[in-house]
Amino acid sequence: MSASENNAPTTRADGRAVDQLRNVRVTRGFTTNPAGSVLVEFGDTRVMCTASVSEGVPRFKRDSGEGWLTAEYAMLPSATAERMQREAVKGKVKGRTQEISRLVGRSLRAAVDLRALGENTVNIDCDVLQADGGTRTASITGAYVALADALAVLKKRGVMPGEPLLAPVAAVSVGIVDGVACLDLPYEEDSRADVDMNVVMTEQGRFVEIQGTGENAEFSRDELSVMLDLAEGGLRELTALQRAALAADLGETVTL
Amino acid sequence: MSASENNAPTTRADGRAVDQLRNVRVTRGFTTNPAGSVLVEFGDTRVMCTASVSEGVPRFKRDSGEGWLTAEYAMLPSATAERMQREAVKGKVKGRTQEISRLVGRSLRAAVDLRALGENTVNIDCDVLQADGGTRTASITGAYVALADALAVLKKRGVMPGEPLLAPVAAVSVGIVDGVACLDLPYEEDSRADVDMNVVMTEQGRFVEIQGTGENAEFSRDELSVMLDLAEGGLRELTALQRAALAADLGETVTL
Amino acid sequence: MSASENNAPTTRADGRAVDQLRNVRVTRGFTTNPAGSVLVEFGDTRVMCTASVSEGVPRFKRDSGEGWLTAEYAMLPSATAERMQREAVKGKVKGRTQEISRLVGRSLRAAVDLRALGENTVNIDCDVLQADGGTRTASITGAYVALADALAVLKKRGVMPGEPLLAPVAAVSVGIVDGVACLDLPYEEDSRADVDMNVVMTEQGRFVEIQGTGENAEFSRDELSVMLDLAEGGLRELTALQRAALAADLGETVTL
Amino acid sequence: MSASENNAPTTRADGRAVDQLRNVRVTRGFTTNPAGSVLVEFGDTRVMCTASVSEGVPRFKRDSGEGWLTAEYAMLPSATAERMQREAVKGKVKGRTQEISRLVGRSLRAAVDLRALGENTVNIDCDVLQADGGTRTASITGAYVALADALAVLKKRGVMPGEPLLAPVAAVSVGIVDGVACLDLPYEEDSRADVDMNVVMTEQGRFVEIQGTGENAEFSRDELSVMLDLAEGGLRELTALQRAALAADLGETVTL
Amino acid sequence: MSASENNAPTTRADGRAVDQLRNVRVTRGFTTNPAGSVLVEFGDTRVMCTASVSEGVPRFKRDSGEGWLTAEYAMLPSATAERMQREAVKGKVKGRTQEISRLVGRSLRAAVDLRALGENTVNIDCDVLQADGGTRTASITGAYVALADALAVLKKRGVMPGEPLLAPVAAVSVGIVDGVACLDLPYEEDSRADVDMNVVMTEQGRFVEIQGTGENAEFSRDELSVMLDLAEGGLRELTALQRAALAADLGETVTL
Amino acid sequence: MSASENNAPTTRADGRAVDQLRNVRVTRGFTTNPAGSVLVEFGDTRVMCTASVSEGVPRFKRDSGEGWLTAEYAMLPSATAERMQREAVKGKVKGRTQEISRLVGRSLRAAVDLRALGENTVNIDCDVLQADGGTRTASITGAYVALADALAVLKKRGVMPGEPLLAPVAAVSVGIVDGVACLDLPYEEDSRADVDMNVVMTEQGRFVEIQGTGENAEFSRDELSVMLDLAEGGLRELTALQRAALAADLGETVTL
């Protein structure tokens, strides 16, 4: 089962070039109760990312001198084209949900120096209000901004021993659709992609996580290389946007 | 334990008169996947209310010729001042959540003629993005508007035997705070109220549901009467607002 | 959807006047292990109400100097006309069960001065042996008597700082059936009532809780008033019966 | 660890001889909703045993031409000296509960000819109102009587192809306490017994089930023999009592 | 329903005499992480029995000066002829599984002096890799050997106040198949047996547990006697094998 | 946080070169009930992989003309150095377990032509008997062999429309440990690796899945390249071993 043949920039169903991100928007201060609260939009995908802080750490980190960061991702039942059953009602968190929660947590821990955080805990919540592909990558990208705001709150409280915030971490999806490698897949492309890959990267261009899956077709090392090139381009734009959002006022919407 | 003494209009912590609603805002078309999607705001309380439609009915209604409406209410974990544990992760829906889901369902069923709906099902979802008291009453008030939009979608599909939408149903809270009956309590008042009451009413001024609870003090029949007067006043404004929202454009925010 | 038209005392299916309670019976000392154990019967509805006491309080009350009272309501699977699935086997407590448990707890807390109780806990259990309508109101009415017995046990042990038992709290249902307001509905009436209301009141005639629901029809303020009149009459009889039961011997059955 | 030495009839804490049953009482028609409803008492142990009938069988018996009987045993939380947590609230049925439910089901299936029952199902529920040892054996003994009543109901409905009720099945506990084999142990003896055995037997004196456990000491074959002798004596009395109860009127209490 | 008629040694489907065990094999040191790890085989039944040790005891044993031993039994989903659903995925442990776990725990506690163990805990795990009848009796027999190895580890660590290992405890099944009492039933016999009995015994010939069940037919006292004779013969061989295994080298397979 | 500096073949704690696999062993016919049953060993990691077949498909595949393959991965509680709690007892499958189960399923579906399988289902079970790193990659590698055997069984039954088995799929881990990229990490290396990557590949050298995670340090594109080189080398050996195992006799152990 062969996959991509050529990757010449073509036009996609939504008019974008293959190396073009969707319209990405970041709004800080979306709600006021959590220490950090960000609405992030990748096209029609809309995720509310919050970072809540509490003093103390879970048992396995107690007396380690280090803090902890954990994350939970979830979809509202009405986020998708067809309403999904609510996981709380079912009494079970789906494997997919847990997998993404774990990915978001690992990715954001790459953006925080746990020792400098001291024995404090950050809870990241990424709740998808509307889903159109790329919800996990939007979650990571938005959560970094919420995390930055939350750490600023902890700093003001004077409870942190150091400066835990590291350089931005962002994420984007790439994939091979109709034999062509594309950046930032909406649901319409994602659902029929031969290969789907999520790339999480630091501002310095180092990988935090790569997850590439060939559900309908396997992929060659060359195809991998083309996808990584696309991802790197998109991620440079996204980390610049994260920086811009953090420089803007609360409530202001910053876009690419 | 005596409660209210007098109810002369006074000024409250947020500057409102005792018979004054908070700033209430309704935005239709908040998201696009569900048939109806409304953002409703009562001051800082913000609830996303959606109505999803599907053909067919649950088993207990099969071959009844009637449709069904069911509702689920939930709070995002970061909606409250202190982050709450996610019910899906805990694997259990709290009693409070189930109780409110049932209330929302009963209230909205008073706004729909199940026979005219035919064997179709409406799922109402009320997800609280930000909580500041009155989340259940905001949910009911917003959900009516989402329901109206969803029934319009079903109508366009031509799958309903009749016109199931009945006149507006809205809800508001009243309570006795510091001995004074007040309309539409924010969290600050609600948490120290002697009596807390939720009133659900039709546009015609008939009660769908009354739930009055004296957690810290009991209440007399006269106090009940004063609270019901306040509620009726607020509910007239809310049903007018629901009508206005349904007359406005999708995406437009309508306010009192 | 209009409801009651007139409320002239008429005769019901079971021969009662509209303002007449069913045969109500209270037997203290029904079982011997719990500190308080009462069998309460409202006609064919039969509930075993117990109050168990333990020293110490749940975490959220620790070091508050106050005690706590909590309640659990449940139906035996064979209590109803058609056997119900056992909640423990299903692994889930139904919303209805949780809702009633919370109602019973709130109602009984209105009968106890938590500060005078000291850091002790009372667990109320209401297990329905046979259900014929009004199980929640019978539960509250019977549980008050069990609570009184349990507090007497704690007093004898000398572990309470004060006299926590307050005046009786009782509960009764009212509703509108075939357009007529009726007191104390058996299942046959309850299942076809247009309006169903539960009223919890202290001996002094103050409301602890009012829950009125129009499942099949809404109700006017006048209808509310008529129902509250009926409830008040019934509740005066029930609190007198509670007093009589507490004056009688253990094992003796006291009736209206 | 040796156990019993001699078994000469001695007097026990409650004054009984070693081969004497407690006061056993059986009341049919204890509640009216289930097809069979029996209150059985072995001393202070009190169990409500019901048998509910429904047409149709579980999937694994479908189209087998045979019926099915299943049983559930449970303790009310206030049945024991110290209140136990409610299994439904915990969301888990304890191993002990499941084990006894399975034992009751197997035992009662020995009293029914599933083929003669036809494709009907009997649900046995044994709910312990008060526990003082021997709750599982009281459950089996009482449930047989409830089963007989339930099958009579099915017979009247004319839905059974044959006469499924077989001869009585009863159960009793025996054990070695302070080196002496004793019949029908109350909690006080059971909790310090070296060996605990439950014997289920048909009226014809054949074993349905034997479960002997040496928690604190093992037992010899001779000791086993002495315990079985005691059990056989008690079981003859119990099956006679079952017959007597079925010959008595509903509501009448029959005793040894 | 009569059962066995005669018990003259006959030949069975697998060629064994009625009083003959299957080929039994014990391999110590099957895996290396747990303190004790044994593969036990009774014919085609294969169980991995491990004993893990930890310092400290569960809450109910704290400060008792005694240790604790607990056991868990489970079947791999592919152990049976037809694949079974995984209990972890279902979210529920079956009654059968819990019942056997409890039996294994009780049986092994008869082989350990909890006071000499000190406040240490032994966790027995019996995981059935392949099931062909007698999995619970194989589990007990193998687990004793794993327990012995685990206690030797604790002894080397010097954390035990005494010598807790008691003489061997082994288990075997007996049953009545086609009217003939047989020892050590494989699945083919077990599934059609009239009576099924599991006997757990110490090396001294005293019973730890007897569980006899007549699913398809009841059994007489004479039949019980014949079955116990068979069991005693088999158990003498099994305790000799346990002794031999403990005298052999780790990794060596010892057989009857 | 920089990671690997140089990758010159060095010697590791267990004496292997950086590009050397552990001793890998594959034994077909490990148990006899499932259609395919394989014991796979990567050094001390030992996994029992089975493939069970059933006719019919899950609901979402019904009438699609295609079959389905699903997989479940689990660890026995005693598989790890420190005993883990049993997921079935906890009532929850851990996120890690679900994530690996999903990975195994996706990987094996790349080895089967679902259309040629027809409406049949293959259940893969990977149960880790002993864990020493790389359990998920051993699972995938072994499961392919079990799958091949299971499809041969289905073929013999004549229920498949085609030849669904595709070329081998195998998996291996690579990582950066102490700055050096290494192949096939045991637990000792895995637990302190800066980067951990799992690579699933077809015999043709195309990627089915790549999952690279920098828990303690991010990694550059060059480091990624070095790791992929190592993985490809190992995977060529593993697919050759899978072919050799399938050519060997049942019960024979094939090794590198």
Asked whether the beta carbons of residue D206 and residue E219 sit closer than 8 angstroms, the reply is yes
For residue A83, the 8-state DSSP code is P
Q: B45 CB near a chain C CB, below 8 Å?
A: no
Q: C108 CB near a chain D CB, below 8 Å?
A: no
pLDDT at A4 over 60: no
Using a CB-CB distance cutoff of 8 angstroms, which residues of chain C are in contact with residue D72? 77, 86, 89
Q: Which of E33, E46, E132 to mutate to test the interface with F (most CBs of F within 10 A)?
A: E33
Closest CA of chain D from E138, distance in Å: 19
Query: pLDDT tens, position by position, for chain B (256 residues)?
Result: 334 444 454 679 899 999 999 999 999 999 999 999 999 999 999 999 999 999 999 999 999 999 999 999 999 999 999 999 999 998 889 999 999 999 999 999 999 999 999 999 999 999 999 999 999 999 999 999 999 999 999 999 999 999 999 999 999 999 999 999 999 999 999 999 999 999 999 999 999 999 999 978 899 999 999 999 999 999 999 999 999 999 999 999 999 8
Across A207-211, B92-96, D223-227, E22-26, least confident range = B92-96
What backbone torsions phi and psi does residue D163 show, to the nearest 5 degrees?
A: -115, 90
| pLDDT at B2 (0 to 100) | 38
Q: Is-contact E141 E242, C-beta < 8 A?
A: yes
Longest dimension (CA), chain E: 57
Q: B96 CB near a chain A CB, below 8 Å?
A: no
pLDDT at A76 over 60: yes
Counting as contact any 3 or more CB pairs under 8 A, the partners of B are A, C
Closest-CA residue of E relative to F45 is: E31
Q: What is the DSSP string of D72-136?
A: EEEE-TTSSSSPPPPHHHHT---HHHHHHHHHHHHHHHTTB-HHHH-SEEEEEEEEEEE-SS-HH
How many angstroms separate the CA atoms of B66 and A138, rounded? 42
- Closest C-alpha to A141, from A252, A43, A66, A16: A43
| pLDDT at B92 (0 to 100) | 86
Q: What is the DSSP string of A184-197?
A: S--HHHHTT-SEEE
| pLDDT at C150 (0 to 100) | 97
C-D CB pairs within 8 A amount to 97
What backbone torsions phi and psi does residue B185 show, to the nearest 5 degrees?
A: -80, 125
Closest CA of chain D from E203, distance in Å: 11
Give the one of C209, C213, C214 whose C-beta lies nearest to B214's C-beta.
C209
Report the percentage of chain D scoring pLDDT > 70.
Answer: 96
For residue C216, the 8-state DSSP code is S
Counting as contact any 3 or more CB pairs under 8 A, the partners of E are D, F
Residue type, B71: A
Instruction: List D25's β-bridge partners, or say none.
Output: D41, D255
| pLDDT at E10 (0 to 100) | 61
Q: Is-contact D84 D77, C-beta < 8 A?
A: yes
Which residue would you say has higher pLDDT here, E92 or A75? A75
Give the one of A32, A81, A130 whose C-beta lies nearest to B130's C-beta.
A32
pLDDT tens for each residue of D209-247: 999 999 788 999 999 999 999 999 999 999 999 999 999
The CA-based dihedral angle spanning residues D6, D8, D9, D13, taken in that order and rounded to the nearest 10 degrees:
-40
Longest dimension (CA), chain B: 57
Closest-CA residue of E relative to F86 is: E88
For residue F6, the 8-state DSSP code is -
B-C CB pairs within 8 A amount to 87
| pLDDT at F92 (0 to 100) | 86
Q: A184 CB near a chain B CB, below 8 Å?
A: no
pTM, to two decimals: 0.92
Q: Is D33 helix (H, G, I), strand (E, B) or coil?
A: coil
Q: Is-contact E251 E29, C-beta < 8 A?
A: yes
| pLDDT at E166 (0 to 100) | 97
Q: How confident is the model at residue C11 (pLDDT cuts 50, 70, 90)?
A: confident
Closest CA of chain A from F248, distance in Å: 29
CA B214 to chain centre: 21
* Helix spans in E21-166 (H): 87-90, 95-109, 114-117, 135-157
How many angstroms separate the CA atoms of E181 and E184, rounded? 10
What ipTM was assigned to the predicted interfaces of this complex? 0.93
Q: How many CB atoms lie within 10 A of CB F239?
A: 21
Across C94-103, C172-181, D204-213, E87-96, least confident range = E87-96
Burial class (CB in 10 A: 0-12, 13-18, 19+), C34: buried
Residue E62 annotated as part of some ligand binding site: no
How many angstroms separate the CA atoms of B179 and E254, rounded? 84
- Give the pair of three-digit tokens for residue A3: 């996959």
Give the one of B46, B78, B125 whose C-beta lies nearest to A50's C-beta.
B78
Q: B215 CB near a chain C CB, below 8 Å?
A: yes
Instruction: List E211's β-bridge partners, or say none.
Output: D211, E198
Give the one of F93, F204, F220 whose C-beta lies nearest to A206's C-beta.
F220
Q: Which of C33, C50, C53 to mutate to test the interface with D (most CBs of D within 10 A)?
A: C33
- Give the pair of three-digit tokens for residue B55: 């053909």
Asked whether the beta carbons of residue A86 and residue B81 sit closer than 8 angstroms, the reply is no
Report the percentage of chain C scoring pLDDT > 90.
Answer: 92
Q: Which of D68, D108, D166, D206 to mutate to test the interface with E (most CBs of E within 10 A)?
A: D206
Gyration radius of chain B's alpha carbons: 18
Residue F106 annotated as part of some ligand binding site: no
pLDDT tens for each residue of D156-197: 999 999 999 999 999 999 999 999 999 999 999 999 999 999
| pLDDT at E1 (0 to 100) | 35
Asked whether the beta carbons of residue B202 and residue C215 sit closer than 8 angstroms, the reply is no
| pLDDT at D6 (0 to 100) | 47
Q: Is-contact A108 A71, C-beta < 8 A?
A: yes
Q: How confident is the model at residue F216 (pLDDT cuts 50, 70, 90)?
A: confident
pLDDT tens for each residue of B88-140: 998 889 999 999 999 999 999 999 999 999 999 999 999 999 999 999 999 99
How many angstroms separate the CA atoms of B136 and F213, rounded? 43
Q: Which of A69, A114, A136, A208 to mutate to test the interface with F (most CBs of F within 10 A)?
A: A208
- Give the pair of three-digit tokens for residue E107: 């049986």
Q: How confident is the model at residue E212 (pLDDT cuts 50, 70, 90)?
A: very high
| pLDDT at D5 (0 to 100) | 46
Instruction: List A73's β-bridge partners, or say none.
Output: A126
Residue B135 annotated as part of some ligand binding site: yes
pLDDT tens for each residue of A80-107: 999 999 999 888 899 999 999 999 999 9
Q: Is C130 helix (H, G, I), strand (E, B) or coil?
A: strand
pLDDT tens for each residue of C113-165: 999 999 999 999 999 999 999 999 999 999 999 999 999 999 999 999 999 99
Q: A108 CB near a chain F CB, below 8 Å?
A: no
Asked whether the beta carbons of residue E91 and residue F91 sit closer than 8 angstroms, the reply is yes
What is the average pLDDT across E100-113? 97
pLDDT at A155 over 60: yes
CA A246 to chain centre: 16
pLDDT at F15 over 90: yes
Q: Is-contact D3 D193, C-beta < 8 A?
A: no
Interface of A with B in 128-147 (CB under 8 A): 129-131
Q: D98 CB near a chain E CB, below 8 Å?
A: yes
Residue C202 annotated as part of some ligand binding site: no
Give the one of A102, A210, A215 whose C-beta lies nearest to F212's C-beta.
A210
Using a CB-CB distance cutoff of 8 angstroms, which residues of chain A are in contact with residue F98? 95, 98-99
pLDDT at E3 over 80: no
pLDDT at F5 over 60: no
pLDDT at F7 over 50: no
Asked whether the beta carbons of residue A91 and residue B92 sit closer than 8 angstroms, the reply is yes
Q: C91 CB near a chain D CB, below 8 Å?
A: yes
Q: Which of B33, B48, B49 to mutate to test the interface with A (most CBs of A within 10 A)?
A: B33
How many angstroms separate the CA atoms of F168 and A167, rounded? 42
pLDDT at E85 over 60: yes
How many angstroms separate the CA atoms of D188 and D190, rounded? 6
pLDDT at D91 over 90: no
pLDDT at C2 over 80: no
| pLDDT at E6 (0 to 100) | 47
Report the percentage of chain D scoring pLDDT > 90.
Answer: 92
- Angstrom CA distances, B68 to B63, B110, B112, C168, stand at 12, 12, 9, 41
Q: Please state the length of chain A.
A: 256
